[in-house]
A = this chain, B = another copy of it.
Amino acid sequence: MPILYISRKAHFNAAHQLWIPELSEEENFEMFGKCANPNFHGHNFDLYVAVKGSPDPKTGLVMDLKILKKIINEQVVDQLDHQNLNKDVPWLSGIMPSIENIAVAMWQRIAPHLPENVTLHKITLWETQNNFVEYYGE
Contact = CB atoms under 8 A, between A and B. Distances in A.
Interface of A: 2-9, 11, 13-16, 18, 20, 31-35, 37, 39-44, 50, 55, 58-62, 65-66, 81-84, 86-88, 95-101, 103-104, 128-136, 138
A111 to B, nearest CB: 13
Contacts of A5: 133-135
Given A11-B129, A31-B59, 12 more contacts: A2-B135, A4-B133, A5-B133, A6-B100, A8-B131, A9-B130, A9-B131, A20-B58, A34-B81, A40-B40, A50-B134, A59-B96
B4 A40 contact: no
B96 A4 contact: no
Secondary structure of the A side of the interface? Answer: mixed
A98 B59 contact: yes
A117 to B, nearest CB: 13
A84 B37 contact: yes
Contacts of A65: 131
A43 B41 CA distance: 8
Given A7-B132, A66-B33, A136-B3, A41 B39 contact: no
A7 B134 contact: yes
Contact of A42 (B7, B33, B43): B43
